[in-house]
Structure 1
């Protein structure tokens, strides 16, 4: 049974994996098994596997085939359709800006571990990528696959001659960069502070040749419903972990670890959901404070400690901000 806190990805992310490994003269079955993936699962594109297993499959394939950039090569055999409904949605967006915005919003319906954002600086824009849940395993294969696939997506909705202004990778420069030159056809910089694609700001407003307003509307409504359900579930899980850790070792780091992500990934994910760790912590404390004061005989000092406040005065100030009255006044008004 999968860990409910595990970051998951649709097995469609391995589109073309088996065929490519076969063509390279290797058997993909042992590679998949070593990565913890049942090869039979690849037949159901919507089946979800842990992203760590997906990443491990890419790493194992790179080692078995001797291809240092297996992920980048695989990206040239994949299409955005592997993303399922969100892949179709962005192809039918009106322009690239709308496509990037919806991809950032709905990617988690396909992959809970890839995060993206757009930064605009003057006449240039940077489409940045990050991966959640990466511990000691290398993310180079997955990162190169993601960036290569995204570049191909833009070409598919603009024209094959489109090129980025530059491509940035956090990992070190490899000895041979000829493959990167062929794939991206632009300056490729390594050892950078972030991974992403730099493009012209004018590109953001370009119409997509694949745009279809009717299909976009249908897919948008569908994904919006799915996304709301996933958002509610993740926020509920986050609040459960905060509540469990209250009064003990509640912190952003502890909650993120309990959810199987690092602190920065949790912050980014909650931000895309319109909230924050501090907001959830405040909500849980307020809800639990009301419960303790209404349904138990605990003193305010005991309640303050159970909620993880440094001292009762801090609890009193926080509660007053939310309720408009002190904890003592709130309790007396309800219990008489």
Structure 2
């Protein structure tokens, strides 16, 4: 069985003259393993010579490609709730380690997305696809010519940025700390044409019940990734955000074989690698962004986990 996302990507690669993607990918029989879609995106970029392949694929996305989430998103009362619900359910419905959230900030609203795996394959193409699919979704829920105020991408600057400006219809900045789509707050309150509040609440309850299989640790990972980019990332803050007393919070994580510090350290290491690879931030700036007291603490932390210093890892 082939994942619909791989089938769509295979068709796109063939149309662009890149040959048979699935044969080149050489997947085992059965459902694609975790990470197959990300590997396929990178291979597709090489086969076609189109580094913006993630955007090209996003242009073809529709609500139906969300599978079981299509009815949930399409029945949401507002655009803001549709995007929020999608971000909440996406990590537990598709593999690939994507996290996202919506944040209102004064005269702006931010749609923040992150690829949260430690050394993700084809991060540039993943970043393109994530942002492109989010913008495409909003266009389907509102109008086809909708454009964000600005787009910040974690990917490195492409050789030709013109396709990005054309796709988004907005200023695009590359090599950023976070993957952010800036929109007007009024957009979040815009009604969805096919809204069905009763159906939406029923579907959300069903999907949330299934999602609880991830346990507390899955919820904590979500909050940690959000906290790392918004400044609230202590055990007490995350426990309070989840409505759990701190001692109970710690006991439940221990019962699941992990701890807050283990989850936080894994996220910090993954984001450190991302920022060192994809941005021009100094090590001191990265240390500060990750919440370390000083660069020397960050250096010891990273060296202990990676086996080499941050500067040596970055040179390599």
Partner of 1:206: 190
Q: CA deviation at 1:73?
A: 0.8
CA contact (8 A) 2:123 2:155 kept: no
User: Residues 67-106 of structure 1 correspond to what in structure 2 (within 5 A)?
Assistant: 67-106=50-89
Q: Matches of 2:158 and 2:255 in 1, distance apart?
A: 52
TM-score by length of 1: 0.63
Structure 1 residue 31 corresponds to structure 2 residue 27: no
Partner of 1:245: none
Q: Matches of 1:277 and 1:83 in 2, distance apart?
A: 36
Partner of 1:149: 133
Give the match's secondary structure for 2:114: strand
Q: Matches of 2:32 and 2:247 in 1, distance apart?
A: 30
Q: CA deviation at 1:49?
A: 2.8
Give structure 2 stretches of 5+ with no counterpart: 258-316
Task: Compare 188-197 and 76-85 and name the one that shifted more.
Answer: 76-85
Q: CA deviation at 1:48?
A: 5.9
Which of residues 147, 158, 171 is equivalent to 1:163? 147
Q: CA deviation at 1:285?
A: 6.2
Which of residues 13, 16, 22 is equivalent to 2:5? 13
Q: CA deviation at 1:217?
A: 3.1
Relative to structure 1, is the Cα distance of residues 221 and 200 closer, same or farther in structure 2, using a 3 angstrom cutoff?
same
Relative to structure 1, is the Cα distance of residues 48 and 86 closer, same or farther in structure 2, using a 3 angstrom cutoff?
farther
Q: Matches of 1:173 and 1:88 in 2, distance apart?
A: 36
**Cα root mean square deviation, aligned:** 3.5
Partner of 1:56: 39
User: Residues 181-192 of structure 1 correspond to what in structure 2 (within 5 A)?
Assistant: 181-192=165-176
Partner of 1:219: 203
Give the match's secondary structure for 2:193: coil
Give the match's secondary structure for 1:16: helix
Deviations 1:94-120 (A, max 9, x none): 001211221122112322511001222
Deviations 1:1-33 (A, max 9, x none): xxxxxxxxx933335112112212211233321
Task: Compare 271-280 and 67-76 and name the one that shifted more.
Answer: 271-280
Give the match's secondary structure for 1:49: coil
Which of residues 163, 177, 181 is equivalent to 2:161? 177
CA contact (8 A) 1:85 1:223 kept: no
Relative to structure 1, is the Cα distance of residues 22 and 204 closer, same or farther in structure 2, using a 3 angstrom cutoff?
same
Task: Compare 158-167 and 276-285 and name the one that shifted more.
Answer: 276-285
Which of residues 119, 142, 157 is equivalent to 1:135? 119
Q: Matches of 2:256 and 2:21 in 1, distance apart?
A: 51
TM-score by length of 2: 0.67
CA contact (8 A) 2:54 2:126 kept: yes
Q: Matches of 2:15 and 2:255 in 1, distance apart?
A: 59
Q: Matches of 1:228 and 1:267 in 2, distance apart?
A: 23
Q: Matches of 1:180 and 1:148 in 2, distance apart?
A: 9
Deviations 1:182-234 (A, max 9, x none): 21111111122211211001111100113223432332232122112333695
Q: Matches of 1:227 and 1:287 in 2, distance apart?
A: 16
In the comparison of the two structures, how many residue pairs are matched? 245
